[in-house]
Structure 1
Amino acid sequence: MPNTQTKSAPQHQLIRQLKAEDISTVQRIAELAWRAHYPGIISHEQIDFMLGWMYSHDQLRSDMERGVQFAGAYKDEELVGFAGWELIDSQTAYLHKLYLLPNEIGAGIGSQMLSWIKREATEAGASQLKLAVNKANVKAIKAYERNGFSQLESVCNDIGNGFVMDDYIYGIALS
């Protein structure tokens, strides 16, 4: 029987809900992903600030307690990526985070995670999924567009310490 699996498809991959005991691994992946991806997009100082702000143990635990759902992508039983999303109103889900270990980018795992989140958000009653992406993050923008997302608006938000998040808001209708 011929093998119909594509060469770049993840092997033995599973996406599952993450729990508080997974926070340290989420922090490690965030650190590796941000330090590999964001230099040249934002300053090293802003990377340090945002990692400390959004990925402290207390902040991640607080996010989970307030209803942010964290999903993990596993490849051969190793957590290689994560996403965090929540239902922000009766019709809208919001993707806060989606990061992969740098060596896993391009293997289809991000797209599989997006499909999983779309399904979960739809089951939760959402009719649309939105996210923010840095305007200079061309690779991520292309990935979201490949997965059916469209640009909805442009925003620039002050996040403190002299830093801003200069983003596009993207969205996709869910069925």
Structure 2
Amino acid sequence: MADIQLIGKDGARELHEFAHPIWREVFGPMITGGPDEAEYIFESWQSAESIEEAMDDGFLYGYLLDGGRRAGYFALRLEGEKLFLSKCYLVGDERGKGLGSELIRWMLDYGKMHGCTSAYLHVNTRNTKAIEAYERNGFVKVYHEIEDQGDGFATNDFVMSRRI
């Protein structure tokens, strides 16, 4: 059974550094703009300053621990009766062990304890392994969204949802 370690703003820099190699591994080859676009989006969304601003906007960040080792990280936000799963990433050698499902269950339980009745997330359309994992955990594709990120870059995501 994995554990959760929540962090505050004082942990934003450390989380940024932890997340960077995960992001590069997952999205460098996946995003159509390649490593440059992946890096641009990472720094826009997961710089220490962006994490701190997100916390000011109600996002909760933390690590998934397996045997005391950081196996992944997450971010979520309560939005009335909806739970937004913003980040859900695992270190490469931790994938395929069921830890992602444990983390998703923890996030859904957290939302349910706080009055949420549904959850949603965005996932890159090329991230087939994540899409399959979310589907195994009850999420369904609701719609396709392309959103301009600036500097000629855009996200290309499915929005997925499920009841809690």
TM bucket normalised to smaller: over 0.9
Q: Deviations over 1:128-149 (max 9, x none)?
A: 1000001111011011001110
Letter in 2 for 1:14: D
Letter in 1 for 2:161: G
Letter in 2 for 1:131: L
Q: 1:21 aligns with which of 10, 34, 46?
A: 10
What is the TM-score normalised by the length of structure 1? 0.87
Q: Identity across aligned pairs (percent)?
A: 25
2:67 aligned residue: 76
What is the rounded CA distance, in whole Å, between the counterparts of 1:113 and 1:14 in structure 2? Answer: 9
Of Structure 1 and Structure 2, which has the larger fraction of its residues in helix?
2
Q: Contact between 1:29 and 1:80, CA under 8 Å: does it hold in 2?
A: no
Tell me, yes or no, if structure 1 residue 115 matches structure 2 residue 105.
yes
> How many residues align structurally?
162
Please give the residue correspondences for 1:1-175 in structure 2 after superposition, counting only pairs within 5 Å: 13-42=2-31, 43-88=34-79, 90-174=80-164
Aligned-residue RMSD, C-alpha: 1.3
Q: Contact between 1:135 and 1:166, CA under 8 Å: does it hold in 2?
A: yes
What is the rounded CA distance, in whole Å, between the counterparts of 2:107 and 2:65 in structure 1? Answer: 15
Larger radius of gyration: 1
What is the TM-score normalised by the length of structure 2? 0.93
What is the rounded CA distance, in whole Å, between the counterparts of 2:43 and 2:149 in structure 1? Answer: 13
